[in-house]
Amino acid sequence: MRFQVERDVLADAVTWTARSLPTRPPVPVLAGVRIEADATGGLQLSSFDYEVSARATVPAAVTEPGVVLVSGRLLAEISRSLPDKPVDVSLDGTKVVVTCGASRFTLLTMPVEDYPSLPVMPPATGIVDGDAFTHAVGQVSVAASRDDTLPLLTGVRLEIEGEKVTLLATDRYRLALRELTWRPTSPEVSTVALVRARTLTDAARSLGSAGEVTVALSNGGGVDLIGFEAGGRRTTSLLVDGDYPAVRRLFPDQTPIHAVLDRASLIEASKRVSLVAERNTPIRLSFSDGQVVLDAGQGDDAQASEALESTLVGEDISVAFNPQYLLDGLGAIDTPFVRLAFTHPNKPVEFTGQEQATGDDVRDYRYLLVPIRFAS
């Protein structure tokens, strides 16, 4: 095997392919990146850990086709450190030689015949705008659980009905829902998938900038798989198995009280007030006509308080939130104003965006946050 490739092209492809390699692989070959040089001038790099696969195809000047398997993390570090010159890669016995300018590295190969076959990409289900997809996944994934002892809640639920895609995530303390449109391959498509939030976030960030992302779902045949493809890169992942809780019903049908605030001002005030909040200590928001008062700390501890202008519809109300969960929700909303809708001081509060201080809210993104009970 022998080929030449541009340094930046190689570095980007290897780094992306090796990004999800396991730190402690169950078998040594799973720490490798498979490199296949095609006689037609294509270079294919791939990785697989039996759960997530990645494959990148880049142009290269191939003089001798071949296939090798080398340490992915080491090759990624080497490729990023090379000078800005073309990179020559060749196979010399059981070693791969990487030459770039005056730099020369040799890497031991792994038995490529022991490497597992990558899963086949399922048929395309639809195409979504890359930027919109990245933004939507970012808005929802903040609410996914980081607790691996509850694998169901570490996922993002995708509900697909024709041209509408709904993303849902919850960690039991907050719930995020985002709706967006896409171009399905069939207008009658109707399916549900539960994807690990880490995998979905990684796919959205790395592929979203390519313009359009093809989403492929396979539900059946004993293997449930989701795939994403854009810009010469594709990744697949096994879906999370299990029945996701019926979380949609948690959104209130009616909210007799709501307040509207400038979102940026509320974020900055929350950050300032939370400086005195000890770990797991809430921020309290007290709404009255024309203003909201944020305060944290009590007793002999440090305390902080700040008042903001606010429009309140309904009776006065006070709630308390985990500061980070509050900031996560406010940061995911992308409108100038935010609406907080209440049913009761101890019931979940719905966050939505508003373009203006008055008028209707924007409901394609909804964030539900459970308040923390506090002594009156």
- Whether residue 70 is contained in a domain is answered as yes
- Whether residue 136 is contained in a domain is answered as yes
Strands 174-181 and 164-170: antiparallel
What whole-number distance in Å separates Cα of residue 350 and Cα of residue 177?
11
Residue whose C-alpha is closest to residue 118's, from 214, 207, 233, 235: 235
- Residue 280 region, left (φ>0) first, then alpha (ψ -120 to 50), else beta? left
The torsion angles phi and psi of 332, rounded to 5 degrees, stand at: -80, -20
What's residue 210's pLDDT? 85
Do 146 and 231 belong together in one domain? Answer: yes
What's residue 20's pLDDT? 84
- Whether residue 286 is contained in a domain is answered as yes
What's residue 219's pLDDT? 64
Residue 145 near residue 182 (C-beta atoms within 8 A):
no
Please report, in tens digits, the pLDDT of each residue of the chain (376 residues total).
999 999 999 999 999 999 989 888 999 999 999 999 998 888 999 999 999 999 999 999 999 999 999 999 999 999 999 999 999 999 999 999 999 999 999 999 999 999 999 999 999 999 999 999 999 999 999 999 999 888 999 999 999 999 999 999 999 999 999 999 999 999 999 999 999 999 999 999 999 888 899 999 986 555 699 999 999 999 999 999 989 999 999 999 999 999 999 999 999 999 999 999 877 789 999 999 999 999 998 777 789 999 999 999 999 999 999 999 999 999 999 999 999 999 999 999 999 999 999 999 999 999 999 999 876 5
Do 268 and 232 belong together in one domain? Answer: no
Do 149 and 231 belong together in one domain? Answer: yes
Do 179 and 245 belong together in one domain? Answer: yes
- Whether residue 375 is contained in a domain is answered as no
Residue whose C-alpha is closest to residue 127's, from 207, 247, 47: 207
- What number of other Cβ atoms are within 10 A of residue 355's Cβ? 11
Q: Say how many domains are in the chain.
A: 3
Do 277 and 362 belong together in one domain? Answer: yes
Do 167 and 244 belong together in one domain? Answer: yes
Token code pair at residue 355: 């373009």
Do 73 and 160 belong together in one domain? Answer: no
Do 334 and 245 belong together in one domain? Answer: no
Residue 35 near residue 67 (C-beta atoms within 8 A):
yes
Residue 87 near residue 103 (C-beta atoms within 8 A):
no
**Strand (E) or helix (H) holding 287:** strand 283-288
Tell me the residue range of the domain where 82 lies: 2-114
Look at the alpha carbons of 137, 142, 144, 145 in this order and tell me if their dihedral is positive or negative: positive
Do 271 and 291 belong together in one domain? Answer: yes
- Whether residue 146 is contained in a domain is answered as yes
- Whether residue 31 is contained in a domain is answered as yes
What's residue 115's pLDDT? 96
Q: Read off the CATH number of the domain in which 183 is found.
A: 3.10.150.10
Do 94 and 146 belong together in one domain? Answer: no
Bridge partners, 226 (sequence order): 217, 237
DSSP string, 24-57: S-SSGGGGEEEEEE-TTSEEEEEEE-SSEEEEEE
Bridge partners, 312 (sequence order): 259
Do 244 and 263 belong together in one domain? Answer: no
**Strand (E) or helix (H) holding 212:** strand 212-220
Among residues 227, 249, 271, the one where a domain terminates is 249
- The alpha carbon torsion through 357, 359, 364, 367 (nearest 10 deg) reads 50
- Whether residue 374 is contained in a domain is answered as no
Burial tier of 329 (Cβ tally within 10 Å: 0-12, 13-18, 19+): buried
Among residues 114, 139, 156, the one where a domain terminates is 114
What whole-number distance in Å separates Cα of residue 281 and Cα of residue 277?
5
Per-residue burial over 360-369, b = 16 or more CB atoms within 10 Å of its CB, e = otherwise: ebbeebbbbb
Among residues 249, 275, 299, the one where a domain terminates is 249
Amino acid at 267: I
- Whether residue 153 is contained in a domain is answered as yes
